[in-house]
Amino acid sequence: MRRLRALAASVASVPVTLFGLVLITFVIGRVVPIDPVVAIVGDHAPPQVIARVRLELGLDRPLPVQFVIYVNRLLHGDLGRSVMTSHRVTTDIAHYFPATIELATAAILIALAVGIPLGVFAAAKGGSRFDHFVRVISVGGQSVPVFVLGMIFLLVFYVKLGIAPGTGQQDVLFEGMVPRVTGMHIIDAALSGQWDAVQDGLAHLALPALVLGYFSLGYITRMTRAYMLDALHSEHIITARSKGLSAARVLWVHAFGNVAVGLVTVIALAYANLLSGAVLTETVFSWPGLGMYLTVSLLNADMNAVLGATLVVGVVYVGLNLLADVAYRLLDPRVR
Amino acid sequence: MRDLRVAFPTTRGMTEVVHGISLSVGAEKLGIVGESGSGKSVTARSILKLLPPSARISAEELRFDGIDVLRASEREMRAIRGKRAGLILQDPKFALNPVMTAGAQVAEAWRTHRRGTRKEAAAAAVELLAQVQIRDPGRVAGLYPHELSGGMGQRVMIAMMLAPDPELLIADEPTSALDATVQAEILRLIEDLVSRRGMGLILISHDLPLVSHFCDRVLVMYAGRVVEELRANELSDAKHPYTRGLLNCLPSLLHRKQRLSVLARDPAWER
């Protein structure tokens, strides 16, 4: 009963958080000294055109009224139209977001596959040369900006060595060849049975996923190491060893078994970060995802698009947090 | 064990905490008493080489049934740990893995040293839980450590260490985290199991009368040294001033005192 109530409380906090997000984004979007009308009609439009468009957009009304109208539309699933693409913002997001999901998922898988073993072994051999090496690697992931790393990767692997394809999601050869089903290029290519397109897609995905994955890897490795050090110093590890278990079993079953639950939260946050924070990586690699959409919209003062994309990012963040919370409650016998 | 010395690294270099302990134990009950920090636990754990890797252990001789523990590989040590010598720690709250059920932890100990299927191990675990006098062992096997009381947790711990049928049981203050009434039950259980199975027992405690009542032989430790070794029934004839001092501090219902005596320490004991 107490557990249910705690869960209900965290679910109930979601709309409040999202309302705050909408409010702040909306206010920032309206107070920036960019005239959305000029952005639509251009600098040289006659004054009467500007006045009419302003009226049409409802920009003559007071800010609170505009906000109420916006929220009302939002609740009906309407994020307005993008000035730049002249599509509905919802349509645009449905178009661009899958590419970001594809990239972020590949990146988090790389980060998990490498970061968790690194963290576990670094903790198991705390203070050793390997531990220091891992620390350097993970601090690097956290402190080298992704756009710098992205450009270095492009320079080395694409320009100099020529072993990786350039920017973008696919080769021009495959442009328009893959029917869109999920929006995730590689999965769509696989669904249509075009294995050469899958291969091409994977090759294009490799560099941006590595760059993003390295960024999360730093965080995941350091958290894994810290949690593992804590677990390895607990009394029950002595018990496990005194039972005559193998070192691997003590490490992975007894120590990591206690850490895994806590890591779920870390991983969910890292994943949410990737889904929202891929802006720079997507720009460097011309990856047609939500980050690029957001950047281009922002540069064009396309406020409806910016608001919409920001909201999606917020929903993803809050949603993944909630999911981690639920998973934690289900997996840990101590809070179950 | 002859002339065991253990040192730990500190900011001022290596600090020796155990200064040359010699002891041997057969199929008997040996008690080790001493105050906190006197080196009891470190001594006991070094028999199984379970000290942190930073600890430096040296000894003229440290053997377990002819096996040189100091030179034994990790693999050889694993054949001793659990299988031939079990270790019971002080507080089951911390000594049991919090995310594994009691049954799974006992079954794991059983399965590590006896070949068998998961099913056999699970059945053996329930059987072992029954042997440590847990009522309704089938239900308890499915509980997590935080759902067990201290006494129950310690019974699970004992069941786990008995699983591979060891020859030696090291109990490191097995009852100090428990209530007084439960303490007696747990000790009776250990005594019963030890004598029925003909095991050796090293009982570490800071409770001198309890140990002397329970064990055949008692070692009194102070500041990393054994200051006195006694037959348990000769406790009242103890000669070392530290032991005498300890006995003198005990409250008694028969000989009441206004104030309990306080131990007067002599730096000479540390030499």
Name every chain B residue with its beta carbon within 8 A of the beta carbon of A244. 78-83, 109, 112-113, 164
pLDDT in tens, chain A (336 residues): 566 777 787 788 888 888 888 888 888 877 777 777 777 777 777 888 888 887 877 777 888 888 888 888 888 888 888 878 888 989 999 999 999 999 999 999 999 999 999 999 999 988 889 999 999 999 988 888 888 888 898 888 888 888 878 788 887 777 777 788 888 888 888 888 888 888 888 988 999 999 999 989 999 999 999 999 999 999 999 999 998 898 899 999 999 989 988 899 899 989 998 887 678 888 888 888 998 898 888 888 788 888 888 888 888 888 898 888 888 888 888 876
Strands B217-222 and B225-231 turn out to be: antiparallel
Cα separation values, B158 from A76, A209, A244, B193, B247, Å: 63, 51, 15, 10, 30
CATH H-level superfamily of B4-270:
P-loop containing nucleotide triphosphate hydrolases (3.40.50.300)
Output the CA torsion sign for A223, A224, A229, A231. positive
A247 touches chain B (CB under 8 A): yes
Nearest-by-CA chain A residue for B82: A243
Q: Is the pTM of this model over 0.90?
A: no
Residue B245, pLDDT > 80, answer no
Taking the CA of residue A114 and the nearest CA in chain B, the distance in Å comes to: 25
What strands, in cross-sheet order, belong to the sheet with B13-21? B13-21, B4-10, B56-58
**Partner residue opposite A236 with nearest CB, options B83, B96, B144:** B96
Q: Give me the pLDDT at residue B252, please.
A: 63
Name every chain B residue with its beta carbon within 8 A of the beta carbon of A247. 74
Taking the CA of residue B263 and the nearest CA in chain A, the distance in Å comes to: 32
Which tens digit of pLDDT belongs to each residue from A160-195? 888 878 788 887 777 777 788 888 888 888 888 888
> A186, A102 in Cβ contact below 8 A?
yes
> A278, A232 in Cβ contact below 8 A?
no
Nearest to A234 by CA among B97, B60, B212, B192: B97
Would residue A105 count as lying in a domain?
yes
Beta bridge partners of B57: B6
Query: Residue B89 and residue A239: Cβ atoms within 8 Å?
Result: yes
Q: Give me the pLDDT at residue B227, please.
A: 82
- Out of B10-19, B70-79, B132-141, which region has the weakest mean confidence (pLDDT)? B10-19
Query: Residue B74 and residue A247: Cβ atoms within 8 Å?
Result: yes
Tokens found for residue A124: 């198991």
Tokens found for residue A318: 């809050």
Surface-to-core class of residue B80, CB atoms within 10 Å of its CB (0-12 exposed, 13-18 middle, 19+ buried) = buried
Beta bridge partners of B222: B225
**Partner residue opposite B160 with nearest CB, options A234, A235, A243:** A243
Query: Residue A242 and residue B48: Cβ atoms within 8 Å?
Result: yes
A48 touches chain B (CB under 8 A): no
Residue B54, pLDDT > 70, answer yes
Whole-number Å distance between alpha carbons of A244 and A315: 48
Query: Residue B95 and residue A236: Cβ atoms within 8 Å?
Result: yes
Which residues in chain B belong to E strands, given as ranges? Answer: 4-10, 13-21, 29-33, 56-58, 63-64, 67-68, 85-88, 168-172, 200-205, 217-222, 225-231
> A332, A114 in Cβ contact below 8 A?
no
Which tens digit of pLDDT belongs to each residue from A113-159? 999 999 999 999 888 899 999 999 999 888 888 888 888 988 888 88
**Tokens 């001789």 label which residue?**
B61
CATH code where residue A165 lies: 1.10.3720.10
Name every chain A residue with its beta carbon within 8 A of the beta carbon of B78. 244-246
> B22, B4 in Cβ contact below 8 A?
yes
Report the phi/psi class of residue A176: left, alpha or beta, with left for phi > 0 and alpha for psi in -120 to 50.
Answer: left
Nearest-by-CA chain B residue for A242: B81
Whole-number Å distance between alpha carbons of A37 and A146: 35
Taking the CA of residue A235 and the nearest CA in chain B, the distance in Å comes to: 5
Name every chain A residue with its beta carbon within 8 A of the beta carbon of B146. 333-334
Whole-number Å distance between alpha carbons of A123 and A117: 10
Surface-to-core class of residue A299, CB atoms within 10 Å of its CB (0-12 exposed, 13-18 middle, 19+ buried) = exposed
Residue B271, pLDDT > 70, answer no
Name every chain A residue with its beta carbon within 8 A of the beta carbon of B98. 236, 258, 333-334
Burial A168-197 (b: 16+ CB within 10 A, else e): ebbbeebeeebeeeebbbbbbbbeeebeeb
Instruction: Please work out, in degrees rounded to the nearest 5, the angle formed at the alpha carbon of residue B202 by the alpha carbons of B198 and B203.
Output: 115
Query: Residue B89 and residue A238: Cβ atoms within 8 Å?
Result: yes
The average pLDDT across B112-130 equals: 90
Which tens digit of pLDDT belongs to each residue from B213-232? 888 888 888 888 888 888 87
Report the phi/psi class of residue B141: left, alpha or beta, with left for phi > 0 and alpha for psi in -120 to 50.
Answer: alpha
List of residues 6+ apart from B184 with CB closer than 8 A: none
Query: Residue B81 and residue A240: Cβ atoms within 8 Å?
Result: no
Chain CA centroid to CA A77, Å:
22
Query: Residue B99 and residue A258: Cβ atoms within 8 Å?
Result: yes
Task: Indicate the residue type of A290.
Answer: L
Q: Give me the pLDDT at residue B215, please.
A: 87
Residue B96, pLDDT > 90, answer yes
> A197, A170 in Cβ contact below 8 A?
yes
Residue B256, pLDDT > 80, answer no
Task: Indicate the residue type of A62.
Answer: P
Name every chain A residue with its beta carbon within 8 A of the beta carbon of B80. 244
Would residue A175 count as lying in a domain?
yes
Would residue A318 count as lying in a domain?
yes
Strands B85-88 and B67-68 turn out to be: unpaired
Would residue A7 count as lying in a domain?
no
Q: Which domain holds residue A300?
A: 96-331
Name every chain A residue with its beta carbon within 8 A of the beta carbon of B89. 235, 238-239
Cα separation values, B98 from A151, A259, A298, A334, Å: 47, 11, 50, 8
Task: Indicate the residue type of A259.
Answer: V
Residue B116, pLDDT > 80, answer yes
Whole-number Å distance between alpha carbons of A202 and A209: 10
Surface-to-core class of residue B20, CB atoms within 10 Å of its CB (0-12 exposed, 13-18 middle, 19+ buried) = middle
Surface-to-core class of residue B48, CB atoms within 10 Å of its CB (0-12 exposed, 13-18 middle, 19+ buried) = buried
Nearest-by-CA chain B residue for A247: B74
Which tens digit of pLDDT belongs to each residue from B154-192? 999 999 998 888 999 999 988 888 888 888 889 889 988
Nearest-by-CA chain A residue for B110: A243
Whole-number Å distance between alpha carbons of B65 and B25: 10
How many residues are there in chain A? Answer: 336
Taking the CA of residue B140 and the nearest CA in chain A, the distance in Å comes to: 15
Chain CA centroid to CA A227, Å:
24
Neighbouring C-beta atoms of residue B210, cutoff 10 Å: 17
A334 touches chain B (CB under 8 A): yes
Residue spans of the domains in chain B: they are: 4-270
